[in-house]
Amino acid sequence: MDWVRDEYEKVYAANSREAIRRFTLQQFAGAHLVVQNPDQPGRPTNSPKWNYQVTTEALSVIQRYGSLEFEFTRTLSEYLDILPGLKSQYAAAREMLRIPLTLPDGSEFTLSPGGQNVLIKQMVEQFCPRFTPGAELLYIGDADEKWALFERDRLDELGVVVDSHGKMPDLVVYMADRNWLVLLEAASSHGPVDSKRHHELSSLFVGSAAGLVYISCFPNRAEFRKYVDKIAWESEVWCADHPTHMIHYNGERFLGPYDYSS
């Protein structure tokens, strides 16, 4: 955006970055005009170091624009001929970097690389078997894809009508034997279930016929210590480096929903 301003005197507002990324650069990447993060393909989506580089193949076409017409036309034709293979290679390379995940029912799943997804994998594979055995996994939010796994019909049956603009927790797990919906937040990127987030989640799941349980998940206790005074009361904390334990923030019960209707 700075370059466009300096070279073309076109000034974009700072809040235009996301629109440019979604509606221009993603299309350029899809056409293999640019490659994302050539220095670190597994970089987390929300990293401030995310970058784009013109591909060698596209650059050779761009540099011949304005030259002899037959030369440019030939180079463009050659580029279009090899483009499907280039796109397949790039997609395959990205797929190899994805994080493999085993769901509670034994099925396989993958998450995009980096970011909070490393912690989400630990939440699914370490927290769920210990504290929600036999439960149904109804939602996983991927750093690249918000609705990576979304059992909309099952949530509808429980009275939860999800607002597509609402900020979902990172995991939603249903314990049928207790009729609990366990809402887990990966606190490594977005922070824990503090009082504000507790209110947001209770509003988002207001119609739930199941009791709501709120859990903040951290990669380790060092990260947890940064937020120790921010955690909402009547919620739980789990740290992946001590997966067999939970920390309870005072209330009349341990790991259970509260009835706020009375």
Q: What is the CATH number of the domain that holds 65?
A: 1.10.10.1820
Name which of 120, 136, 232, 249 is nearest 187 in CA terms: 120
- At 144 the pLDDT is 63
Query: Is the same domain home to 109 and 232?
Result: yes
Of 244, 246, 179, the residue nearest 216 (C-alpha): 246
Q: Which domain holds residue 25?
A: 2-96
- Any idea what the CATH number is for the domain that residue 175 is in? 3.40.1350.80
Three-class secondary structure of residue 102 per DSSP: strand
DSSP letters of 166-198?
Answer: S---SEEEEETTTTEEEEEEEHHHH----HHHH
pTM tops 0.85: no
Average pLDDT for consecutive 10-residue bins of the chain (262 residues)? 89 85 84 84 73 89 84 87 74 66 79 79 92 92 73 92 79 94 85 92 92 95 93 94 92 68 57
Beta bridge partners of 100: 110
| 87 and 30 together in one domain | yes
Residue type, 208: S
Residues 82 and 205 in one domain: no
Beta strands in the chain (DSSP E): 34-36, 52-54, 99-102, 108-111, 136-140, 149-150, 171-175, 180-186, 211-218, 236-239, 246-248
Q: Please give the pLDDT value at position 130.
A: 93
Same domain membership, residue 47 and residue 82? yes
Q: Do 104 and 85 sit in the same domain of this protein? A: no
pLDDT at 90: 66
| Number of structural domains the chain divides into | 2
Same domain, 160 and 209: yes
Q: What angle do CA 120, 257, 176 make, to 5 degrees?
A: 70
Inter-residue contact 159 to 153 (CB < 8 Å): no
Residue 242: the pLDDT is 95
**Residue 32 in domain:** yes
Burial class of residue 8 (count of CB atoms within 10 Å of its CB; 0-12, 13-18, 19+): exposed
Q: Are residues 8 and 117 in the same domain?
A: no
Do 43 and 105 lie in one domain? The reply is: no
Among 32, 64, 96, where does a domain finish?
96
In a domain, 229, yes or no: yes
Domain membership of residue 34 (yes or no) is: yes
- Is the distance from CB of 35 to CB of 41 less than 8 angstroms? no
Report if residue 238 sits inside a domain.
yes
Determine the number of helices (DSSP H) and then strands (DSSP E) in the chain: 11, 11
Is 231 found in the same domain as 166? Answer: yes
Query: What pLDDT does residue 124 have?
Result: 92
Residue 112 and residue 91 share a domain: no
What's the pLDDT score for residue 29? 84
Among 32, 65, 96, residue at a domain's last position: 96
**Boundary-marking domain end, from 36, 62, 96:** 96
